[in-house]
């Protein structure tokens, strides 16, 4: 199981980042997820990747409920521990990443989860439906609304939802 956990760690870390919007919070979420998985391994008939995503999502919901607002650190640049270079390309990438992060944070939790699983993790609709334990049709409608909201976000002059 240790080898399997090591191989799925990057995907789990990306998923955690998409939920929290902050690398420090994502790292904490991944660590807590791994602790939970090690304390109670998945049932024999459930793939470890699917189990890990479910545990991660549930851990994030628990953390979110207990702290109410996890996005405060993403709003304060002085709390970010990122290293910036002086390159023009790096600056443009940082601006673009910031805009996408802001757009993702403007989505509802349901839409952000689905968009993250489909667009970031590359899961199929049925895989995402299994992870979130909802029908595939619900995945499709949430994804359509998330995409539409993202498009409208970037069409707004000030980058806010209409």
pTM of the full structure:
0.51
Structural domain that includes position 5: 1-82
Could you tell me if 11 and 64 lie in one domain? yes
**Buried b or exposed e, range 9-40, using 16+ CB within 10 angstroms:** eebbbbbbbbbbbbbebbebbbebbbebbeee
**Residue 159 clears pLDDT 70, i.e. is over it:** no
- For residue 62, the model assigns a pLDDT of 83
- For residue 162, the model assigns a pLDDT of 43
Average pLDDT over residues 133-156: 89
Element containing residue 38 per DSSP (H, E): helix 23-39
- For residue 2, the model assigns a pLDDT of 79
Could you tell me if 100 and 61 lie in one domain? no
Could you tell me if 17 and 72 lie in one domain? yes
pLDDT in tens, 100-126: 778 888 889 899 899 889 988 889 999
């Amino acid at each position: 199981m240790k080898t399997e956990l090591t191989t799925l760690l990057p995907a789990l870390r990306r998923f955690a980042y998409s939920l929290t919007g902050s690398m420090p919070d994502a790292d904490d979420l991944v660590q807590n997820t791994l602790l939970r998985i090690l304390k109670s391994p998945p049932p024999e008939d459930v793939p470890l990747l699917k189990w890990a995503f479910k545990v991660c999502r549930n851990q994030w919901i628990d953390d979110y409920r207990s702290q109410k607002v996890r996005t405060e650190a993403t709003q304060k640049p002085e709390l970010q521990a990122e290293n910036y270079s002086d390159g023009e390309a790096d600056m443009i990438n940082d601006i673009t990443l910031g805009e996408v992060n802001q757009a993702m944070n403007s989505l509802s939790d349901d839409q952000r989860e689905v968009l993250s699983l489909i667009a970031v993790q590359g899961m199929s609709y049925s895989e995402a439906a299994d992870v979130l334990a909802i029908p595939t049709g619900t995945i499709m409608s949430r994804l359509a609304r998330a995409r539409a909201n993202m498009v409208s976000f970037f069409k707004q002059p000030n980058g806010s939802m209409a």
